[in-house]
Amino acid sequence: MNQDEIEKLKEICKVNRRNIIKTIHNAKSGHPGGALSACDILTVLFEKVMNCYPEWEKSENHAKRDRFVLSKGHASAGLYSVLAHRGFIKEEELMGFRQINRLLQGHPNTHIPGVEVPTGSLGQGLSLSCGIAMALKLDKNPAHVFCLLGDGELQEGSCWEAFMHAPHRGLNNVTAIIDKNNLQIDGNVDKIKSVDVLTDKLKAFNWNVIEIDGHDIEQIYDALMKSKTSDIPTAIVAKTIKGKGVSFMENQVGWHGKNPNDEECAKALEDLK
Amino acid sequence: MIDRAKKSSIRSAYGNALVEVGTENENIVVLDADVAASTQSKIFQKAFPERFFDMGIAEQDMIATSAGLASQGKIPFASCFAVFASGRAYDQVRNSVCYPKFNVKVVGTHGGITVGEDGASHQALEDVALMRAIPNMTVIVPADSQECREAVKYAATHDGPFYIRVARSNVPDIFDENYKLDNKGNVMCEGADVTIVTNGETLAEALDASEILKSSGIGATVINMPFVKPLNSDIILKHAAGKKLVVTVENHSIIGGLGSAVCEVLSENAPTKVLRIGINDTFGQSGNANLLLEHYGLSAEKIVEKIKEKLKDNK
């Protein structure tokens, strides 16, 4: 990727972050912290790494698409903003987020173009991804599956059933990305129930582990591209900042699941100019 | 009376039926959680090793993986003991399978008190209640090997999530190979006084009970109701009308299963006295399957006793 492309992606990340804030502000509910920490990863995935066909089921290339699973389903505002920018959904849909009889549910479901499987109940996304990967292998389909998990989410034991499963079955068409922002609702992940040392754990589970700065566009891109050609499943441990990009939300546990009021929204958008 | 000497393994019927449907449709895949020899899904494994996946002792992973497979057009049959399929993996069944209406067939074997010697931890007595409560789920409880075979074929050819609950024990053969499963239920015999609604292993007991009742001058209609959901209310209302009593018999808790479903239909449409025979809100225990059936009041003789008692009370 050249510098121009990197700068362009950074701009798109800003647009997407602004949409996260506007979406949650308008809904008067949602999860800004984890959406902002995952925003750069989601943007690079959908804008640069994945084979995407935003016409979704109407596309003649639909079967060739790379698959994405948002295991940390509460980062939905992040995913929806990225899907809107990429053209899967209309941008005006964002203003229906979490509203009755509208498309964009609080947590992703399969009515939404770009969403393969429903998520929201934590600890299921990686198993779902492995199922998708197995189906692709059975069909000799070379598409790749990307799954984004939270670090707090890894306290769900079912995640580790899937971490055991993927390497065992040689599912090198799965990439797990862990958005390691070290915050969960009740506080710091390492204080509540530590998931460290994560890299060592995943290596012991026979994953190809890559550590990156989850806000560095180039590192995100390189790791994701490398993961596509690995012989064994790849886990990308992405160190991130919860609330990234909004000064008063960064590393603040209180912004896990709280909507900004009008004043906070204006200030956040100012930060994201 | 039912010929108790002529029994066959309902679980082998499951394994063989998988091969049957798997031969016809190559999108069918089978998953198990380290109990392939018990559920008999190993019969499919032998026939189609490339489409069989042993997920190890990880029921949650098995169900969510099945959902992932189904999201891409596969038709997974995921089997393990009923208590774990419905309990351990409940959240996966609810959120990953039923919410998106994925084409996953959850098969719980070793359902009911007749699990026997393994005891309470392994006796699924609430599974039908749990599965029935989830939107989009179809629940079938087959009574014998032929009906189990039919249930697998039905599930394989009807889109959407299914829960099929299979017994552990060998069960008497009731239906012949020409029997076709009907989601409307079927009237097995008719009598004027009481109507017994049942399914699964207790169908044989209810049929024998109706014979015994007949010899005491009590006429019993027996309805086989393999589909607990969707439940065909027509057949229940038709055969409840004019009867002294409606009885439900199930190898399951009296809370939330077939008995509750029948009561829901009757109380909304034609309030009728219902005697629910099942496990009375208690955990089971270890023991011989037949002795347990009798101990918990599900044998033909016990069913007769309870019906006679209730009829006396009603007078």
Res B112 pLDDT > 90:
yes
Strands (DSSP E) along B267-306, which ranges?
274-279
Q: Which one of A115, A158, A164 would you mutate to disrupt binding with B, by most B Cβ within 10 Å of its Cβ? A: A158
Residues A145/A67, Cβ–Cβ less than 8 Å: yes
- Give the gap in angstroms from C-alpha A120 to the nearest C-alpha of chain B: 8
Residues of chain B with CATH 3.40.50.970: 7-172
B59 is catalytic: yes
- Give the gap in angstroms from C-alpha B34 to the nearest C-alpha of chain A: 14
Residues in chain B: 315
Query: Pick the catalytic residue: B24, B26, B59, B150?
Result: B59
* Total count of domains within chain A: 1
Residue numbers of the domain that contains A236: 3-271
DSSP labels for A126-151? HHHHHHHHHHHHHTT----EEEEEET
Rounded CA separation A249/B217 (Å)? 79
Please tell me whether residue B77 adopts helix, strand or coil conformation.
Answer: strand
> How do residues B2-57 score in pLDDT, each as one tens digit?
999 999 999 999 999 999 999 999 999 999 999 999 999 999 999 999 999 999 99
- Give the gap in angstroms from C-alpha A1 to the nearest C-alpha of chain B: 32
Q: Which residues of A touch B135 (CB under 8 A)?
A: none
Q: Do B100 and A133 touch (CB under 8 A)?
A: no
The CATH number, out of the four listed (3.40.1390.10, 3.30.450.40, 3.30.360.10, 3.40.50.970), of the domain defined by the range B7-172: 3.40.50.970
> How do residues B240-291 score in pLDDT, each as one tens digit?
999 999 999 999 999 999 999 999 999 999 999 999 999 999 999 999 999 9
Q: Are strands B194-198 and B245-253 parallel, antiparallel or unpaired?
A: parallel
Residues of chain B with CATH 3.40.50.920: 186-314
What would you measure as the largest C-alpha separation in chain A, in angstroms?
A: 53
Q: Do B68 and A117 touch (CB under 8 A)?
A: yes
Res B314 pLDDT > 90:
no
Residue B182: the pLDDT is 86
What are the φ and ψ backbone dihedral angles of A197, each rounded to 5 degrees? Answer: -90, 110
Res B315 pLDDT > 90:
no
Instruction: Residue A214: give its domain's CATH number.
Output: 3.40.50.970
Q: Mean pLDDT score of chain B, rounded to an integer? A: 97
Q: Which residues of B touch A162 (CB under 8 A)?
A: 61, 64-65
- Tokens describing residue B137: 């789920």
Would the pTM of this model clear 0.90, i.e. be above it? yes
Q: Is A128's Cβ below 8 Å from some Cβ in B? A: yes
Q: Which one of A66, A74, A112, A124 would you mutate to disrupt binding with B, by most B Cβ within 10 Å of its Cβ? A: A124
Q: Do B64 and A165 touch (CB under 8 A)?
A: no
CATH 3.40.50.261 fits B186-314, yes or no: no
Per-residue pLDDT of chain A (273 residues; tens, 9 = 90+): 999 999 999 999 999 999 999 999 999 999 999 999 999 999 999 999 999 999 999 999 999 999 999 999 999 999 999 999 999 999 999 999 999 999 999 999 999 999 999 999 999 999 999 999 999 999 999 999 999 999 999 999 999 999 999 999 999 999 999 999 999 999 999 999 999 999 999 999 999 999 999 999 999 999 999 999 999 999 999 999 999 999 999 999 999 999 999 999 999 999 999
